[in-house]
Amino acid sequence: MPKKQRKEFQAPKGMRDLLPQDSGFWDKLIKTGEELAQDYGFQKIETPIIEDADLFIRGTGQTTDVVSKQMYFVKTAGGASLALRPEGTPGVVRAYMENGLASLPQPIKLFYFGPMFRHEQPQAGRWRQHYQFGLEVFGDSGAVLDAQIIQFCFHLFRQLGLKKINIQINSLGCPQCRPAYRRALLDYYRHRKEKVCPDCKRRLKENPLRLLDCKEEKCQPIKTQAPATVDYLCDECRKHFKEVLEFLDELELPYFLNSSLVRGLDYYTKTIFEIFWEEEGAAPGALGGGGRYDNLVKDLGGKLTPAVGVALGLDRIVELMKKEQVKISSGPNFKVFLVQLGMAGRKKCLKLFERLHQAGILAAESMSRDSIKAQMKIADKFGVKFALILGQQEALDGTVIIRDMQSGMQETVLQEKVVEELKKRFRK
Ligand code: HAM
C-alpha cells in the first residue's frame, strides 16, 4: 500500500493562535475592561458561541453583509440550523428574554467577552475569528445611557494609556421618521443610478441605508451630497440626539458628526457611533462600534424594551497596545529559586514549592533539570535574592540550604523553618 502523505495542519484561514508572547496585552485589556465594566455597574454574562441561525437572520438582519455573506452555518446531526455567532448582541438579547431578566429591576447592564466569527476576506486587523468585549443595557431609553456607554469606552482607552481616540456619531432615527428619510434617499439615488457601482445598484433595491456604507471611489461624491438622516429626525429622536451630544460635550469627549455613518447591522435606532484611532492608517478600521436598538427585543419576540450597547474589537486594540508600547505586567514577581538534586530532593522541592506559595513567597524553578550548575544559571537570570538548594542529603536531614545569590553565603536551615527564615531575611 502506498504510504499516506503526512498532512501539515494549519489554523483555518483568517484564524490564528493567540500566543504567550502577546498574552500580557490580552490579559491587561480584558482585566481592565472587566473591572471597569463592574465599576460602571455592569454584570458579566456568557452566551453560547453557536445559536439558532434565525436569531441572527432576524436580529442582525438578513440583508446585512454579516449575515448574507459572512455567517458560518452549522448543520447538526439532528438537522437543526445553527450558526457561529458573528456578533454578540442577538445572543445577549435572547438570554435576556429566555432567563426572565426583563422581570428584574431595570435597567439591566450586562458585559461579555468572547470570540465572534465572520467569513470575511482576511487582512490587517480583520480576522475570521475575532474577539469582542461588549456592553448591553436593557430597559432604559434615556440618552444619558448612550453617553455613559461612550464614556466607558473613552475611560477604558484612557486607562490603557491609549489617548488618541475619537468617535464618529450619527442618529438613524426611529420607525416613525425613518420612512421619510428612506424616501428622500431613494429619490436622490434613483436620479443618479447610472453613476453608482453595481453594489450600490443592489443596495438601492435591497437596503437603501447601506448605500451610505459604500467605499467605492466613484460613489463618494454622490454619497457626500446625499440627504442626511439628522435632517429627517422626528422631534423625539432629535431631542434624544441633542441630549446625547450635550452629555458628550459635558464630558469633553471628542466626537465628529458623520451623516454617512449607518453601521452594518439592521437593528439600530437613534444613536449610532464608531470609535477610531486618530492617526490615519495606524489602526485598520474602527476599534469599536455600537448604538441604540430600541426595537430588537420586540422584533425577537419579547416586549418593547429600549436598549443600547457597544462592542470593542479586541484584536485591533491589542495591536494598538503593542504599537504604542503600553506597559504590561512583567509576570510573576519571583522571590526565590528552588534548586533540586536527585529524586529525593526533587520530591521535597515539589512540596516546598506549594508551602512557599501558600506563604506568599513565589518560587521559580526548573524541576526537570538535573545539573545544579544549569539551575544556578537560570536562578541568576531570574534575579532572585535567594536560591533554596535541596539535594539528597538535605532531603534525608529535613533541611534546605539558603544561598544568598549576591554574596554567595550559604546557610543550612530546617525545612519547616525555611518560610520563617526567608521572611526574616526579606524584612532586612
Ligand atoms: P460591529 O461594529 O460589527 O458591532 O463590531 C464591533 C467591533 O468588532 C468593530 O468595531 C471591530 O473593531 C471589531 N470587528 C468586527 N469584525 C472584525 C473582524 N473581522 N476582525 C477583527 N475585528 C473585527 C457589533 O458587533 C455590535 N454587536 C456592537 C453592538 C453592541 N451594538 C450594540 N451593542
* pLDDT digit string, tens, across residues 326-372: 999 888 899 999 999 999 999 999 999 999 999 999 999 999 998 99
Q: Is the beta carbon of 314 within 6 A of some atom in ligand 1? A: no
Indicate the pLDDT class of residue 16, thresholds 50, 70 and 90: very high
Interval between CA 250 and ligand 1 midpoint (Å): 27
Taking residues 67-79, report their average pLDDT: 95
In 3-state terms, what secondary structure has residue 316?
helix
Give the helix ranges, DSSP H, for 141-212.
143-159, 178-190, 198-206
Give the residue, by CA position, lying nearest to ligand 1 atom 2. Answer: 289
Give the residue, by CA position, lying nearest to ligand 1 atom 25. Answer: 87
pLDDT value for 3:
65
CA–CA separation, 78 and 301 (whole Å): 25
Contacts of the segment 101-105: beta carbons below 8 A, 24+ positions apart: 101/138, 102/138, 102/139, 102/297, 102/302, 102/303, 102/305
pLDDT at 280 over 80: no
Q: Is the beta carbon of 269 within 6 A of some atom in ligand 1? A: no
Calculate what percentage of the chain has a pLDDT beyond 90: 90
pLDDT at 65 over 80: yes
Pocket test for ligand 1, best of 18, 72, 87, 129 (most atoms within 8 A of CB): 87
pLDDT at 1 over 60: no
Interval between CA 265 and ligand 1 midpoint (Å): 10
pLDDT value for 261:
94
Q: Is the beta carbon of 120 within 6 A of some atom in ligand 1? A: yes
Residue carrying C-alpha cell 493562535? 17
Q: Is the beta carbon of 146 within 6 A of some atom in ligand 1? A: no
Give the residue, by CA position, lying nearest to ligand 1 atom 32. Answer: 309
pLDDT value for 215:
84
Give the strands of the sheet with 269-277, arranged side by side. 43-44, 108-117, 129-138, 307-313, 288-292, 269-277, 165-171, 255-257
Calculate what percentage of the chain has a pLDDT beyond 70: 98
- Per-residue model confidence as pLDDT tens digits over 107-137: 999 999 999 999 999 999 999 999 999 999 9
Largest CA distance in the chain: 95
pLDDT value for 428:
82
Q: Is the beta carbon of 118 within 6 A of some atom in ligand 1? A: yes
pTM for the full model?
A: 0.93
Closest atom of ligand 1 relative to the 125 alpha carbon: 21
Indicate the pLDDT class of residue 2, thresholds 50, 70 and 90: low
Indicate the pLDDT class of residue 63, thresholds 50, 70 and 90: confident
Interval between CA 363 and ligand 1 midpoint (Å): 41
Between 209 and 6, the higher pLDDT residue: 209
Q: Is the beta carbon of 271 within 6 A of some atom in ligand 1? A: no
